């Protein structure tokens, strides 16, 4: 990336303290009642809003509750349930096949390691991290578009892809706050540090932010 600004550790500690106070409830906004439902919801959330996924799963989980329920379907039979989430043909195929593997390899239980989760069709590292963190309380940082944008803008990391972003965050943040920090960055990205027009003047951490500092130095539109 062109930007080379990184905030100091002391500034990062202050940012962490501010976020911890501003966003005390760190829970996923994907509605679920068990690890399996979270896995399905997270798979559906690719390039789709949590709001839309919750609308879909509210009806979906009334009819299909277990891996067995999904595994007996064809992708074509599942597609109408999830069509409004987008990419529904690929998601239908992955979900049906993932549920078959859950039954074949994991006794119908959602596994609790990166490697096992990522052996399921349609489950990448981000989805695995969401499930591990939110379903099992295992420290993890799932880097979605919000986490990538916010952490690079602030200067917590300087990375040009999600893998490097996750690695740098794991290096700079204490493991005990990884899961909380993941939610802080998402909340901040949705409410303040928006993609097209960040609300810098409303931001509680602007005085520690590389992006805001660059705008000030350039005399840009804040």
Active-site residue identified among 91, 126, 180, 206 = 126
Which candidate, 62, 59, 65, 63, places its Cα nearest to that of 39?
A: 65
Angular region, 116: left φ>0, alpha ψ -120 to 50, beta rest: alpha
Based on the residue annotation, tell me whether 126 is a catalytic residue of this protein.
Answer: yes
Which candidate, 206, 219, 181, 187, places its Cα nearest to that of 7?
A: 206
Active-site residue identified among 144, 164, 167, 194 = 144
Tokens of 200: 């810098």
Q: Which segments of the chain does DSSP mark as H helices, in order?
A: 9-22, 35-44, 50-63, 67-71, 75-82, 88-106, 114-117, 125-136, 145-154, 162-172, 178-191, 210-218
Vertex 94 angle, CA 33 and 83, to 5°: 75
Q: Which residue has the tokens 């839309």?
A: 52
Contact 121, 93 (CB under 8 A): yes
CA distance 96 to 98: 6
CA distance 179 to 142: 8
- Residues annotated as catalytic (active site), given as ranges: 126, 144
């Amino acid at each position: 990336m062109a930007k080379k600004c990184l905030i100091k550790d002391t500034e990062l500690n202050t940012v962490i303290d501010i976020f911890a106070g501003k966003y005390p409830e760190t829970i996923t906004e994907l509605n679920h009642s068990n690890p399996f439902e979270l896995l399905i919801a997270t798979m559906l959330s690719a390039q789709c809003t949590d709001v839309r996924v919750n609308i879909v799963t509210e009806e979906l989980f009334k009819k299909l509750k277990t891996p067995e329920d999904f595994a007996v379907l064809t992708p074509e039979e599942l597609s109408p349930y999830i069509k409004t989430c987008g990419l529904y043909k690929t998601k239908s195929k992955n979900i049906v096949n993932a549920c078959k593997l859950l039954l074949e390899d994991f006794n119908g239980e959602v596994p609790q390691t990166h490697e096992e989760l990522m052996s399921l069709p349609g489950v990448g590292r981000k989805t695995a991290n969401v499930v591990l963190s939110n379903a099992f309380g295992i420290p993890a940082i799932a880097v979605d578009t919000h986490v990538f944008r916010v952490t690079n803008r602030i200067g917590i990391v300087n990375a040009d892809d999600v893998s490097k972003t996750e690695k740098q965050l794991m290096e700079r943040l204490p493991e005990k706050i990884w899961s909380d920090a993941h939610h802080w960055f998402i909340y901040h990205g949705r409410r303040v540090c928006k993609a097209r027009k960040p609300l810098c003047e409303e931001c509680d951490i602007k005085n520690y932010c590389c992006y805001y500092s660059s705008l000030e130095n350039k005399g840009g539109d804040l």
